[in-house]
Amino acid sequence: MADYDVLIIGGGPVGAALALALRGTGLALGLLEARPRGTAADARPIALSHGSRLILERLGVWERLAGATPIRRIHVSQRGGFGRVELDARQAGVPALGYVLDYGQISEVLVRALEAEGGVDLIRATVGALESGTDAATVVAAAGDGRASARLLAVADGGALPVARLRIRDYGQAAVSARVSCSLPHHNVAYERFTPEGPLALLPMGEALALVWTTAPERAQQLCALTEAGFLARLQESFGNRLGGFKTASSRAWFPLALKVADRIADPRTVVVGSAAQMLHPVAGQGLNLGLRDAWELAMLLRDCDRVHIGGPELARAYSARRRLDRGGGVLFTDSLVRLFSNELAALKLARGLGLAVLGVIPPARDFLARRMIFGARG
């Protein structure tokens, strides 16, 4: 007999959201997280879509995410070329297109909710191996810390042992993240400016702005090594003067960018969700939002599933079918943006400008784009 009905590997936002969504089902639930409690928070800026807000409201945790900064408009343009488009929350019929906060804050709030409400065994251990059997799958902890079995393993940690073959595309890019301030107020507008090196995003975060600047890895290292004044000068040159002059910048960090997509997201006894299923380029901020939809859809299937069929082939087929359109659309959308906008070919530059101009003057096309960014391909 299995120790759990569902054992979730990975206690980040996606894994914790899945556990919260399964509360009250009567299922035996476990969540395994490798990082010790109190590990330094992850300060990467994350833009949660309005669709993700609705999921977190249903989980009863949205009100605990104090300080999330709403995005009322998104301004999209390309450096050195014509064409732009603005997405507006009022036109889209939502209170905000998205909300900006730290990744670490989301994780902390969700885990605290699990701890406070109970019903889920929280296990601190590192995965050593995964074994799949006919009736259950087993997690073997590293360093001889024990083992646990479950009817279904839900792997939500992209750093766990691989359970699916990944297709990987190295973009040859890196993202520099920082907090910056400028001389003009941002008025809750997010900016996505495409440059030959990659997209440069500025997201409203409190009174300041969260920066995610895509560039070549070598330049990312150089930007992080510059003095504050030198960094601000390079940022001003790349972004322009729409927000006035940049005044301050926090310490900077950088990380390499690649597309990683699992060929299969579900097999008997094992499913992958969130970063274990797909890791996307940060352009358009789709990664975590897609992962939260993975968790919600899987939880809804499990709620409707007879206990004896949890982890069986029927569930695997149903989950794969249910996520095919949204997942495929999210991967294609972000990958296409990177490919189309990260170059200076004259023909493509002209086509990009025309495309942005058309989106800007045809409301149905603009609203279609906004809804897909907010709710995914099924929105």
Task: Tell me what pLDDT residue 196 has.
Answer: 81
Of 225, 39, 25, 14, the closest CA to residue 106 belongs to 14
Distance in angstroms (rounded) separating the CA atoms of residues 329 and 115:
35
Report residues of the chain scoring pLDDT below 50.
Answer: 1
Of 211, 231, 201, 210, the closest CA to residue 219 belongs to 231
Task: Tell me what pLDDT residue 283 has.
Answer: 86
For the segment 321-339, what is each residue's pLDDT rounded down to a tens digit? 999 999 999 998 888 888 7
CA 337 to each of CA 85, 162, 213, 356: distance values in angstroms, whole numbers, following the listed order? 14, 28, 15, 12
The dihedral built from the CA positions of residue 202, 205, 207 and 210, taken in this order, carries a sign that is negative
Phi/psi at 152 (5° precision): -140, 130
CATH architecture group of domain 4-42+103-166+262-341: 3-Layer(bba) Sandwich (3.50)
Distance in angstroms (rounded) separating the CA atoms of residues 169 and 61:
35
| Alpha-carbon Rg for the chain in angstroms | 21
Residues 6+ apart with CB under 8 A from 291: 13, 14, 156, 273, 274, 275, 277, 278
Which residue ranges make up each domain of the chain?
A: 4-42+103-166+262-341
Distance in angstroms (rounded) separating the CA atoms of residues 350 and 344:
10
The per-residue DSSP string of 98-115 comes to EEEEEHHHHHHHHHHHHH
